[in-house]
Amino acid sequence: MWGHLEEAAVGRVGARVVAAVVIVACVALLGPSAPNGALIARPLPAGAPREVVADRVMTWNICNPCNASGQNLGRAVDIATYAPQVIGMQEACVRDVEMIREHLEHVYGLVYHVEYGSVLRSRSRCGGWPWSPGGFGQAILSAAPMTDRENVEYPDGGSEDRGYLAVTTTVGGRSVRVFNTHLAQRRQEDVRAAQTPVLAAAVARHERAIVLGDFNAVPEAPELTRIWAVARDADPACRPPSTAGCRPTTDWFSKFDYIFLRGITARGHGVHPSDFSDHDLQHADLDVG
């Protein structure tokens, strides 16, 4: 079984390498924009929404460092294909998010507000001048304005500072508290076990809440127990203690990414591989009530 999984993983990564090479070649030949300065539009798949879907949310670890030329235009295409009302991004550099927003607005007509939850400033991650490294962490994009921003750093981030970003915005016509987090790296179970009670306590204070993020843990991991106690995953097949139906969200076929819901139900759910990250996009269509 593991041999088949490894073979599939290598094939998937290989396809992404080919896609990256094609993008590099195209950018080298055509440049990132037309001669008049207009951004080049890549066509969306048939059936893609023409405007933001008001009750749809998405989570995506966009991967950093992933330095294929043209990646931010590719990420914008992937997002525009599903046009969510709210997007939670992890491993997000401010400069990348701004480029993605520019492509979404000027190429696809999707306008998003943004709030950042940067907990780390790192030139190695995000470039920038040595005395002003780029902000790195979480970002929330919302088609509706956001208020009551809260940026919380966990007492112990593990090998890298981590935290959560929370805002109040509108989803499906209702006011909702939205959280976006990235927990400690995958082999740091004890650190995550100290982070999830902090997040769960904040979520529990709200009647309606959406928790987006990369939790770096599979559904049955003990450190997620506190989160399962206050919310449910949008994936209807993913309900501990039975987790066999949980759809994987990474290139290594683990479910690390979640859309947790409190006081809200999901009408639809999807996981979508991308050529521009080692994590899949995940979206959910919600009944906010």
Q: Are 119 and 92 in contact (CB under 8 A)?
A: no
AA letter at 127 = G
Q: Are 117 and 161 in contact (CB under 8 A)?
A: no
Dump pLDDT digits (tens) for 147-186: 999 999 999 998 888 999 999 999 999 999 999 999 999 8
Q: How many domains in the chain?
A: 1
Q: Which domain holds residue 239?
A: 2-287
**Per-residue model confidence (pLDDT) at position 191:** 97
* Backbone dihedral angles phi then psi of residue 156, each to the nearest 5 degrees: -130, 115
**pLDDT of residue 250 exceeding 50:** yes
Dump pLDDT digits (tens) for 25-53: 333 333 444 444 456 667 899 999 999 99
Name the nearest CA neighbour of 234 among 174, 173, 285.
285
**pLDDT of residue 54 exceeding 50:** yes
252 Rama class: left (phi>0) / alpha (psi -120 to 50) / beta? alpha
**pLDDT of residue 126 exceeding 90:** no
Q: Are 99 and 106 in contact (CB under 8 A)?
A: no
Alpha carbon distance 53, 157 (integer Å): 34
| Mean pLDDT, residues 259-264 taken together | 98
CATH of the domain at 189: 3.60.10.10
**Per-residue model confidence (pLDDT) at position 267:** 96
Q: How far is CA 223 from CA 191, 195, 220, 235, 277, in A?
A: 9, 9, 9, 19, 25
